[in-house]
Amino acid sequence: MADNKRTLKFKIYRHDPQDPSSEPHYDTFEVQDRPYLSVYLAMEEIQQKQDQSLYYDICCRSNVCGSCAVNVNGQPKLACKTQMKDLPDEVIVEPLRYFDHIKDVAVDKGRWFMEMSHRLKGWMHTDKPFNEKIENIQKEDDRIPVYEAERCIECGICIEACGAAHHDPEYLGSAGMNRAYRFIIDTRDVRALDEFAEQLFTESGVFGCEAMLGCRNFCPKEIPLPYHFGILRRRILGRILLGKK
């Protein structure tokens, strides 16, 4: 339970790259703690009552859209999910460093995810003609792994937490490999594994992972990403060494 007597201090990164006169700096605000106060609700209170120019990203407010991902005390988190009762009295809020900066603590993740989807051709490929009256139903054992991978909300936290992604701009990243895994295991997709070779069979693909497990440790949906990548590696190595398709 939150200590209502706590006065919380927020040190928030401020910078507008589109304004030539803007210099990166931090502004400090104070907010009174209360039950169920999240980082997002604190920023909302600051914007409404202290500084209307504070710029951040939010959409669903329910741990579903992934828009509000920021760095909180140096760790990537969803602002709407992160409760102040779990944090110290002083909090530093910064934008995700990997993605293009928009303003203050907001970044452009949409461009990265769009480009990643185009790289992987991340949509269903099938040779069956579309029939809106007949649903292409999978067996339960086939669809559960797809649903598990589809729980990704594209928040970008796994990319932010990945040292390999920061080192190699071409690295597909955890979100990208999870997207590839989702279509490779989908029994309705007709593509062969070789069609993903250019993106996956390289050091910018599954063999670029340094197993630091930042993706597993920080994924707000707790998707078993290392397990998914292990399946990808096993299939790829089986293709390379044994000729399996």
pLDDT digits (tens, 9 = 90+) for 195-210: 998 899 889 999 899 8
Query: In the chain, what percentage of residues exceed pLDDT 90?
Result: 81
CB contact set of 75 (below 8 Å; sequence gap of 6+): 161, 218
Architecture of domain 109-242: Orthogonal Bundle (1.10)
Domain ranges of the chain: 7-107, 109-242
Does 109-242 match 7-107 at the fold level?
A: no
Provide the CB-side half-sphere exposure for 136 (13 A, CA): 14
DSSP codes of every residue in 137-201: PPPHHHHHHHHHHHT----SHHHHT-HHHHH-TT--HHHHHHHHHHHHS-TT----GGGGHHHHS
Model confidence at 2: pLDDT above 60: no
In this prediction, residue 32 carries a pLDDT of: 97
Burial profile 58-67: b = 16 or more Cβ within 10 angstroms, e = fewer: eeebebebbb
Q: Is the dihedral of CA 184, 187, 188, 194 positive or negative?
A: positive
Q: How far apart are CA 12 and CA 182, in angstroms?
A: 37
Instruction: Give the pair of three-digit tokens for residue 164.
Output: 């390999």
**Cβ atoms < 10 Å from Cβ of 184:** 22
For 127-155, what is the mean pLDDT? 89
Average pLDDT, the chain: 93
What is the tens place of the pLDDT at every residue in 29-40? Answer: 999 999 999 999
Q: What confidence tens digit (pLDDT) does each residue in 81-131 have?
A: 999 999 999 999 999 999 999 999 999 999 999 999 999 999 999 988 878
Q: Are 208 and 202 in contact (CB under 8 A)?
A: yes
| The CATH number, out of the four listed (3.30.230.70, 3.40.605.10, 3.10.20.30, 3.40.50.2020), of the domain defined by the range 7-107 | 3.10.20.30
In this prediction, residue 80 carries a pLDDT of 97
* DSSP state letters, 139-153: PHHHHHHHHHHHT--
pLDDT of residue 241: 78
